[in-house]
Structure 1
Amino acid sequence: MARYPADHKPAVRRRLVETAGRRLKRDGIDGSGVAALVADAGLTNGAFYGHFASKDDLVAAVVADQVRAQAARVEAVPPGPASVEAFVDDYLAPSHRDDRAGGCPAAALLAEIGRSDLATRTAYTTGATALVDALAGLLDDGDSGDGGSARERAIGVLALLVGALQAARAVTDPVLSDAVLDAARRGALTLARPRTTPRVATHRESA
C-alpha cells in the first residue's frame, strides 16, 4: 500500500476547512449537510470522519479558522485613520455584500452560531476577541478622552458593520441596500473617531 507523505492529512484537513467555510457561509450551517461539505473537498463521507468527529466539530474548526484569519488581516495593517477608513470601505463594499461565500463569517453565520454548540460559540468568542483587539489597535490614538477606549469603539464599529451588512443582504430593493451600506459607512467612521470635548478651565485658571 502506498504511503502518504507526512503532510497529507493536515493538507486534506486544511482543504476541507477552507471549502466548508465557503459552503457554510453561502448555504448556512443548517443548509449544509456532511455529504455536500465533503464533496466540495473531493472526499467521501468515510474519509471525513478521519478528520472530524462530527459536523459540529467541523463547524467549530471553520468558525475558528475564518475569524482568526480575519483578525490576522486586520493585525497586519498599520494603525491610523487611513487604515480604519480602508477597513470600513472594504467591509461595506457592494462586492462584499454580494460575495457571501467569500466574506465575513459573522455577517453570514452569526445567528446560527448563537444557536450552535458550546465549542462553536467558544471558537467564535476567541476569534471575535482577537478581531476586536486588532481593530482597537488601528483605532488607538493613545488618548481615550470622552470617546471611550479604542477597544470600546472597536466593539461598536464591528457591531455596526456586521449588522449593516446583514441588513443590506436581507432587503430586496437594491437602492435601499446601497443606502444601508452608505449610511453605515458614515456611522462607522464617526463612531471610530474619539470624541473631543473642550477642556474646562479650573476656578484658579478662570480667575
Structure 2
Amino acid sequence: MTRYSSNQKEQTRTRIIEHAGRRLKSDGIDGSGVSTLMKDAGLTNGAFYAHFGSKDELVAATVADQLQFQHDTIEALPDDRASLEEFIADYLSPRHRDHPEEGCPSAALLGDVGRSKPVVREAYASGVVNIFDVLAARIHVADAAEARTRAIGLITVLVATLQLARAISDPTASDRVLAAGLANTRHFLV
C-alpha cells in the first residue's frame, strides 16, 4: 500500500475544492451531491473522506476558498478609483451574469449559505468580512467607519444586482438591471 505525501494530499484537496467551487456556483449547494463533486475532480467517492468529514466541511472550505480568491483579486488591483470601477463593471457584466460557475460565490450561493449549517455560514461570514475590509481600504474617505459602510453597501448592490439580473429571463430587462446596478455603485465611490 502506497501512502500519499502530504504535498500530494494537499494538491488533491485543492483540486476537489476548485472543482466543487465551479459546480456549487453552477448548481447550488443542494444541487450537487458528494459523488458529483468527486466525479468532477476525477476522484472516487471513497477519496472524499480522506479530505473532508462531511459535505458541509467541503462546502465551508469551498466557500472560504472562493471568497479568498475574490479578496485577493480585489487586493491585487491598483489602488485607484479607475481600477475599482473596472472591477465593478466586470462584476456587473453580462459575461459574469451568464457564467455563475466562474464568478462570485456570494451572487451564486447566498441564499443557500443562509440555509446552511453553521460551519458554512461561519466560513462565509469570515470571508465576506475580509472582502468588506479590502474594499473599504480602496474607498478613499477620511472616516474608516464611513469607508466600511460604503464597502458593505457596494457589496450589497453588486450581489443583489447580479442575483436579480440572473433571475430575469428577458435579456433586455436583465441588461437594464445590470446597468442600473452599475449606476448605483457610483454612490459608494464618491
TM class, shorter-length: over 0.9
Q: Provide Cα deviations, 1:59-98, integer angstroms capped at 9, x if missing partner.
A: 0000011001101111111222112211210110111111
For 1:36 and 1:128, the matched residues in 2 are separated by 27
Deviant stretches of 4+, over 2 Å: 1-6
Match of 1:169 in 2: 166
- Find the counterpart in structure 2 of residue 80 from structure 1: 80
Query: Partner letter of residue 15 of structure 1?
Result: R
| 1:104 paired to 2:119 | no
Gapped regions of structure 1 (runs ≥ 5): 194-207
Give the total of aligned pairs: 190
Matched with 1:183 is: 180
- AA aligned opposite 2:105: P
Contact 1:17 1:58 in 2 (8 A): yes
Q: Distance in 2 between matches of 1:8 and 1:89?
A: 38
Distance apart, 1:3 and its partner CA = 4.4
Residues 107-149 of structure 1, C-alpha deviation per residue, up to 9 Å, x if partnerless? 00000100101111010011000001111111124x249xx71
Cα distance in structure 1, aligned partners of 2:127 and 2:156: 14
The answer to whether 1:159 aligns with 2:156 is yes
User: Residues 42-61 of structure 1: matches in 2 within 5 Å?
Assistant: 42-61=42-61
Q: TM-score, normalised by structure 1?
A: 0.88
Distance 2:19 2:158 in 1: 25
In the other structure, the counterpart of 1:124 is 124
Q: Is the 8 A contact 1:91 1:161 kept in 2?
A: yes
Q: Percent identity?
A: 51
Counterparts of 1:179 and 1:149, CA distance in 2? 29
Which of 1 and 2 has greater Rg? 1
Give the partner amino acid of 2:16: L
Equivalent residue, structure 2, for 1:21: 21
Judge which range, 80-89 or 121-130, deviates more: 80-89
Cα RMSD (Å) of the superposition? 1.4
Letter in structure 2 aligned against 1:37: L
Per-residue deviation at 1:192?
2.1
8 Å contact from structure 1 (residues 88, 189) kept in 2: no
Q: 1:34·1:45 contact (CA, 8 Å) conserved in 2?
A: yes
